[in-house]
Structure 1
C-alpha cells in the first residue's frame, strides 16, 4: 500500500492528500517525487494513475489523478473550462486589514539569471481571480480560505503578495521564506463535476504544520 492518504477512489479517479514538499515530477537534480508512488497507487489497476493538474511542491492536499486515458481527457477539459471547484487554506505572514475580498490581478511569467523564473502581476498577463476570506487569527498570523476562479501558476502566492500585500508564511519566492519550513498553502477541497455521474469530491484535513502554528481544521 502507498503511504500517501487516498481521499477518494472510484474506477476513473483517485484524489490523494499530497504531502507538502513532495514534487509531482522528478526534480532535475533527482530525489523523491510522486512518481515513486504511482505504481503503489495503481490499487489493482494495470496502469499508473496520472496527475490531471499541478499543485506546487510545497503545497499539501488534494491532487486529482486519472486512472485511464478517457478520464484524463474529461477531467483535463473540466479544469480548462473552469468547472472545477477548488478550496485552499493558507497562512499569511500577517493579518490583512479586510476580512474578505476578491483579488483580480493578471499574471505574467518573468525570468532572470540570478533569480530564475517567477510570476508577477502585469496588466498584459493572463487574467486571474481569487476570492478570499479570513477564517482565524493568532499571534500576528492569519488563516485564510482561498477560492481561485482561475488556475494560473503560483496564482494564490502572487495574489497574497501583490494583492493583499502580505505573502504566505514561509514562501521563499514571494515572501521572506521565514516562519515555516515550507510555503504554508494547503489544497483543502476539490469538486470535479461529471456527466451522468456523481462528482468527484474530496477534502484533505489540515496538516500537522498548520496545527503547530495554532490553527485547527478550517
Structure 2
C-alpha cells in the first residue's frame, strides 16, 4: 500500500465559506477529529502557505496543504444495505444541478454517528464518488420515511438552511394517531426540551424551559382505532411531531419511545411494524431561480395497504 503524500488542494465554489475543521472532517474520512485538530494546531495543515486557526473560513482559490494522513479506504467502507441502495438509485423524487430530494426509506439514519457506522449521506457519497459535494440540508428520524433534501453546492446549502430557519420551506408529514382524534384541526405550541432517560436513551419532553415548538395537526380520516392526520411543523425540533402527538393524548402508531407498549403490541399484530410517520411533501421556491417547487413522496406501499385495511 502506497504511503500517503502531501496534497495541495485548490478551494472551489463548492467549499468556499466552509470552516476549515468541517472541510477537513469531510475530506479525511476515518481520521479522528482529535487528530485533525492536532495537525491544524501544529501547523501541518496550511492555507496559502500560512498557519490558520481551525475556525478559518475557506475562500475560493485558497490553496490548502494537507499533510500525509492515512484515511479509511473505500475497501473498508460499510456495505450499503440493498433496501437503501435501491432507494438511492431508483427513488429520487427530484434532482437538478443544485440539490437532490431523496425518498428515504424507514429504518435508516440520515448520517453515521454513535453506534451507526454509516447512514444515508455516507451511502449516497459512496454511490456517487464523482460528486464533489453532497451535504444534508436537514434531518429526519431514522424511523421516518420520505422527503430528504441533499445539497450539491455549498451556496445552495446555505440558502436552503436560511429557508429552513425561516418560513421558506413548508414541510408536510402524514401520521397515524392512536385512537379517534375528535378535533378537525389544532395548533400545538408547547415548548420542548431535550432530556436523557435513565437508560441513556435520548428523550424529548414538554417543558416551559424548552425551546418554542409549533405543529399544525389537520385530521384527514378517522378509523375505528386510529386517525390519519397531516402534520405541518413550523419549527424543527428533535422528535417534535412525535412528542406533540403524544401531548395531544394520541401518540403515533408504532412509536416505541413516546407511545404505549400495549397499544403498539396490538397494532403490531395488525401489521404496523414501524413508526407511522412519513415526510410527505416539501414546498419551497428554488433557491437558484425562485420558481415554486412542490416535491411529494407517496405513502410507502406497506403503510398504504395497512390504511386501506382500516376502511
Is the TM value for this pair above 0.5? yes
- Structure 1 residue 133, shift from structure 2 partner: 1.2
Greater Cα offset, 130-139 or 11-20: 130-139
Q: Displacement of 1:33 after TM fit?
A: 2.4
CA contact (8 A) 1:143 1:215 kept: no
How far apart, in 2, do the equivalents of 1:56 and 1:106 lie? 19
Q: Please list, as runs of the form range in 1=range in 2, the aligned pairs for 1:187-202 lying within 5 A after superposition.
A: 187-193=279-285, 194=287, 196-202=289-295
Is structure 2 residue 257 aligned with structure 1 residue 173?
yes
The answer (yes or no) to whether the contact 1:189–1:201 under 8 Å persists in 2 is yes
Q: Residue 11 of structure 1 corresponds to which residue in structure 2?
A: 97
1:212–1:41 CA distance, 2 compared to 1 (3 A): farther
Whether the 8 Å CA contact 1:82–1:150 is kept in 2: the answer is no
Unaligned 5+ runs, structure 1:
none
Matches within 5 A, 1:1-218: 3-4=86-87, 5-30=91-116, 33-34=119-120, 35-40=122-127, 46-162=131-247, 164-176=248-260, 178=264, 179=267, 180-193=272-285, 194=287, 196-215=289-308
How far residue 40 of structure 1 moved from its aligned partner, in angstroms, is: 2.5
Q: Secondary structure at the match of 1:37?
A: helix
Do the aligned partners of residues 130 and 210 (structure 1) sit closer, same or farther apart at CA in structure 2, a change above 3 Å counting?
A: same
Aligned residues between the structures: 212
Runs (5+) with no aligned partner, structure 2: 1-84
- TM-score normalized by structure 2? 0.64
**Counterpart Cα distance in 2 of 1:175 and 1:122:** 18
2:80 is matched with: none
**SS of residue paired to 2:256:** coil
After TM superposition, the runs of 4+ consecutive aligned structure 1 residues lying more than 3 A away are: none
In structure 2, the CA distance between the partners of 1:170 and 1:140, relative to structure 1 (3 Å rule), is: same
Change (3 A) 1:201 1:39: farther
Counterpart of 1:39 in 2: which secondary structure? helix
Write 1 or 2 for the structure with the bigger share of helix.
Answer: 2
Q: Compare 124-133 and 190-199 and name the one that shifted more.
A: 190-199
| Partner-residue secondary structure (3-state), 2:158 | helix
Tell me if structure 2 keeps the 8 A contact 1:22–1:33.
yes
How far apart, in 2, do the equivalents of 1:172 and 1:38 lie? 31
Q: Is the 8 A contact 2:102 2:147 kept in 1?
A: yes
Determine if contact 1:136/1:215 at 8 Å carries over to the other structure.
no
If you compute each CA radius of gyration, which structure gives the higher value, 1 or 2? Answer: 2
Choose between structure 1 and 2: higher strand proportion.
1
Which structure is richer in relative contact order (CA contacts within 8 A, separation 6 or more)? 1
